Structures are given as C-alpha cells and as structure tokens.
Amino acid sequence: MPDTNREIQELLADYAQALRDGSIPTFLKSLTRTEGQKMASAPEFWDAAEVVRYLNSAGFADKFATPDVGLFISRVDAKIGSRLKNARASSRTRRTSPRPITKAQRTEKPI
C-alpha cells in the first residue's frame, strides 16, 4: 500500500520517477485528494517540477527519436492516387444516346 500522506519532496521524487518512466497518468491516479491539494497550493512543487522536466529532457535528449512519418506519407499518397484513379475511371464511362447515330445519318443533308 503506497504512502498516502506524502510530503512535497516525496511527491516531487515520485513525479520525477513517473516522468522518467513515462507513467504520469499512473502517478496522477495514485494521488489522494489531500496530496493533490498540497501540490496545487505549493509553488515550490511547481518550480521544482519545472526543473525536473528540464533535467529530464536534457538527460534523455540523445535518446530522443523523431518518429518516421515516411510510411504515413506513402499511405496518404497511395490513397490520393487511388481516389484520383477512381475519379478518372468514373468520368470515362460513355453515356450512350438512346438511339445510336450512324455515319449515313450524319452525312445526310435535309431537303
């Protein structure tokens, strides 16, 4: 059973660990009402949390990887191409007249 009466320093240490591990939602769920009120009303917690975020980003900057969006872009391009192909195919369908006109009818001149 976790300690339910953590002090600001303990809350900050737990926050730093959750930030490092990527489990902030779990940390927030673990807070009691009184701990949440302590955190909200303590400006030293917010100042220290900002420092922790800076240290965390500096410490893991070399491990940070930007996501590769090449696969996403290629799928979007394929979808656009498919839609363009389908649009061209639907516009190519011939609309036939109810009565086909023969070549002789086109060349005849009325009297």
Q: What's the whole-model pTM score?
A: 0.48
The pLDDT of residue 89 is 66
pLDDT tens track for 46-101: 888 888 888 877 776 666 555 667 777 888 888 888 888 887 766 655 555 556 66
Report which of 17, 18, 6 is spatially closest to residue 42, judged by C-alpha positions. Answer: 6
User: If DSSP codes are grouped into helix, strand and coil, which group holds residue 8?
Assistant: helix
Residue corresponding to tokens 């516009």: 91
